[in-house]
Amino acid sequence: MITTNNDKIKTYTEAVARGDYDLGACNLYGKHDNVRTFWEDQLTRFVLRPFLTKLVEDRKARGEKTRIIDLGSGSGQGYELLTRIDKRDLDLGLLHDRALPIDEIESYLGLDISQPMVDKGNEIFRDEDNMRFIQGDLTNGLDSARDEKPFDLYFSSYGSFSHLSKESLQNLLTDICEHGNNESLVVLDLIGRYSIEWPQYWNAETEEEKVRDYSMNYLHLGLDYEVETEHFPIRFWTGFELDKLMLDINKDTKGQIEIVKKLDRSILVGRHTDTRLYNPRLQSTRRGVNCLHENYMRTDLSKLIIDHDLAPEHPKVSPFLNELIKSWNILVDFCNKRLLGEMQLIELENWSEFPSALQFSLMVIDRVITDTGWMWYGEPRANIIESQLGYALRNLESSMQHGLGCGHGLVAILKVTK
């Protein structure tokens, strides 16, 4: 049986005490590292953007504000994520135009099993009248939030729902289907089973085999003292299983729930590419990408070239993964050689066979190097070119993925219809 009594998950209690759940700084390690801030949070925002924009505008047209519940909310990381989504890509002259402006929120309710998280959330947001955090256990469906009015957005972020067994997640979504409004949105953020971080989990067949050991020891990277590593069970998901889950839920509910978007997030830069806890063949790619986004710190790009041999062949995973790794390496290698003055764009062979996302990313990097090469102030390589390479690599991952469950995170946006 999967354990979700969070008193038993000391990791969270200790992380709150250490300050990891204070809203905060980004850096090379830890909860708010650069990949979380510049890749994961941003990609979640990009996929959510059109759906959230429409939801808020529809409510506004009816003279209503938006009601949000954040399930497994921690201390409210989701609030920051949601309120910083721009409705569209901004050109140089525009200021922000948010999809969910703060004054369009009727209420934000955070629900978490961990009392320290709830207390921390209530402390951080004590000045916000429309925000509350309550204790509740999602293994009981909506639990302590069941008597609240329907929400427009049932949000979750970063693996909260992977603490639940398949049965508990199915019950929770059934609950949401009954509790929600017509067109309520649900955001699932699960741990992907086909991630290169744990190839030994890929072939799981029984329910028991899909619930496996997990550790958040990545929160301890960079600490200068020893912390005992805790292990707990997590349910790992593939995109195919999510499709099947929707069919099962729709048999039992009055409302219908459908997936409108899936995203594999952090395919080559999952948390455990750095810890190598479950796959010792990995190469600390996340650390390298964190470095790309760090100001005044140059990255050894040769260390970002990824070995093709990181995981065994698998019919559902390998065709996509091999193409992504190949594209990633071509982009990194080109950027490196271009910086060293050893290669021009027209010298790349087999251009017409490259995926369009790779062609675009190569053109961007070429242009960025041309346009910043003359700059003198502020370390253009570390502060501009490398962070642009980071975004170009992010573009490869997000444009090429198919929502298979190949990333550390598997995000799905669901819509309730009644």
Ligand X SMILES: C[S@@+](CC[C@H](N)C(=O)[O-])C[C@H]1O[C@@H](n2cnc3c(N)ncnc32)[C@H](O)[C@@H]1O
For ligand X, the closer of residues 120 and 338 by Cβ is 120
Q: Which residues, at least 6 apart from 375, have a Cβ–Cβ distance to it below 8 Å?
A: 384
For ligand X, the closer of residues 12 and 125 by Cβ is 12
Question: Which residue, 268, 243, 201, is CA-closest to 404?
Answer: 243
Count, residues in the chain: 418
Q: What minimum distance in Å lies between the beta carbon of 369 and ligand X?
A: 35
Q: What minimum distance in Å lies between the beta carbon of 16 and ligand X?
A: 9
Q: What minimum distance in Å lies between the beta carbon of 152 and ligand X?
A: 18
Tell me, what DSSP letter sits at residue 8?
A: G
Q: What minimum distance in Å lies between the beta carbon of 173 and ligand X?
A: 14
Q: What minimum distance in Å lies between the beta carbon of 142 and ligand X?
A: 10
For ligand X, the closer of residues 159 and 390 by Cβ is 159
Q: Are 317 and 238 in contact (CB under 8 A)?
A: no
For ligand X, the closer of residues 163 and 220 by Cβ is 163
For ligand X, the closer of residues 74 and 199 by Cβ is 74
Binding positions for ligand X, rule: CB under 6 A: 4, 6, 12, 72-74, 77-78, 112-114, 117, 137-139, 157-160, 163
For ligand X, the closer of residues 117 and 211 by Cβ is 117
Question: Which residue, 411, 223, 240, 222, is CA-closest to 317?
Answer: 240
Q: What minimum distance in Å lies between the beta carbon of 113 and ligand X?
A: 4
For ligand X, the closer of residues 4 and 299 by Cβ is 4
For ligand X, the closer of residues 72 and 403 by Cβ is 72
DSSP 282-342: ---HHHHHHHHTSTT----GGGGPPPTTSS---TTTHHHHHHHHHHHHHHHHHHHHHHTT-
For ligand X, the closer of residues 75 and 336 by Cβ is 75
Q: What minimum distance in Å lies between the beta carbon of 210 and ligand X?
A: 17
Tell me, what DSSP letter sits at residue 385?
A: I
Q: What minimum distance in Å lies between the beta carbon of 220 and ligand X?
A: 15
Ramachandran class of 65: left when φ > 0, alpha when ψ lies in -120 to 50, beta otherwise: beta
The CB density around residue 298, as the number of other CB atoms within 10 Å, is: 15
For ligand X, the closer of residues 82 and 321 by Cβ is 82
Q: Between the CA atoms of 30, 33, 37 and 43, what dihedral angle is there, to the nearest 10 degrees?
A: -80
Q: Is 397 strand, coil or helix?
A: helix
The structure tokens 């080559």 sit at 268
Give the integer Cα–Cα distance in Å for 338 and 386: 12
Q: What minimum distance in Å lies between the beta carbon of 98 and ligand X?
A: 19
Question: Which residue, 415, 340, 326, 322, is CA-closest to 381?
Answer: 340
Q: Which residues, at least 6 apart from 9, have a Cβ–Cβ distance to it below 8 Å?
A: 114, 230, 232
Task: Quote the tokens at residue 212.
Answer: 């496996």
Question: Which residue, 412, 113, 13, is CA-closest to 240?
Answer: 412
Q: What minimum distance in Å lies between the beta carbon of 165 and ligand X?
A: 10
